[in-house]
Amino acid sequence: MLPDFLIRATIAGLGVALIAAPLGCFVVWRRMAYFGEATAHAALLGIALSLALELPIFGGTLLAALLMAYTVSQLSGRGLASDTLLGVSAHAGLAVGLVVASFLSGVRIDLMAYLFGDILAVSISDLYTIWIGVIFVLLLIYWRWSPMLVSTLNEELAYSNGINPKKEKLILTIALAVTVAVSIKVVGLLLISALLIIPAAAARNTSSTPETMVIITALVGIISAISGLQFSYLFNTPPGPSIVCVSIAFFLFLSSKNIWKFR
């Protein structure tokens, strides 16, 4: 029989793997890898501020991620190259967050838990938070799937079909911020991008349509979450990084054919 904490961890991991699949695919297709990173790093600032102001941590994280995601997506294309802008924002979020956290005397802040995740300490109420977020994001993506896909392909094509790609981008941004906020507990903010990108990258070469890619991504994510947690339990390794390592193994295995081809 598995211990309770491992069962809770698995349920949390499954939820995060499920939403990371469609979001991760969009992040890969739209070349937004740095964007995910910036949003995740801003979450640390959110955590530090909500501890300082004694606000609920989840709310603070979500708000900071939303603000960062929105600001960056509005600023992109105005002057600075997008990756420079994202590099600045991502590290600003991280550095300012760490500095603000250091001022919090009297509040015990377990930085490691936020940076690398603390999935084994997931409580029942965390599970509720995670799964409400998961269901919200899945419904949102399901509802907007087609217009989001068309906008990703070509903005003018979207406009000519009566779709507003700016609106779709905003919805994607919101979904990404929620995903970041619910994933922090599971893999920590340093590895959220890994969770988004690696399963999607692993699925690319075995998929022929966007939809099959999302399904295979979800499968890779789910298997990585379950076996990563088992691995971490058996060998006493950190759970978040273990999950990511399993997905990297998937990536190497599934793309080995292509890696050989390009040699």
Partner 1 sequence: MCVVPAQILNQVTLINIKDITVKYGEHIVLDKVSLDVAPGEIVTIVGPNGSGKTSLVKTIIGALTYDSGSLIIKNNLRIGYIPQRLNIDHTLPMTVQRFLNLTHRLTKDECLKALSAAGASGLLEAQMSNLSGGQFQRVLLARALQGDPEILILDEATQSLDQAGSADFYKQIESVRDKKGCAVLMISHELHVVMSASDKVICLNGHVCCSGAPEAVAIMPEYHDLFGTGTDGTLALYRHNHDHRHDNPVRSAEVSD
CB of residue 257 vs partner 1: minimum separation in angstroms?
A: 12
Segments in the chain forming alpha helices (H): 4-29, 33-52, 57-75, 82-102, 111-116, 124-153, 155-160, 165-187, 192-204, 210-235, 239-262
Instruction: Give the separation between CA 104 and CA 125, rounded to whole angstroms.
Output: 25
One-letter amino acid at 186 equals V
Instruction: Give the separation between CA 5 and CA 123, rounded to whole angstroms.
Output: 8
CB of residue 160 vs partner 1: minimum separation in angstroms?
A: 3
One-letter amino acid at 210 equals P
Is residue 136 part of the contact set for partner 1 (CB under 8 A)?
A: no
Closer of 12 and 216 to partner 1 (Cβ): 216
Instruction: Give the separation between CA 180 and CA 48, rounded to whole angstroms.
Output: 16
Among 10, 61, 152, 173, contact with partner 1 (rule: CB under 8 A): 152
Number of residues that bind partner 1 (CB under 8 A): 26
One character per residue 204-233, x = contact with partner 1 (rule: CB under 8 A): x--xxxxxxx--------------------
Among 84, 102, 123, 154, contact with partner 1 (rule: CB under 8 A): 154
Closer of 99 and 157 to partner 1 (Cβ): 157
- What residues make contact with partner 1 under the rule CB under 8 A? 28-31, 146, 149-150, 152-157, 159-161, 200-201, 204, 207-213
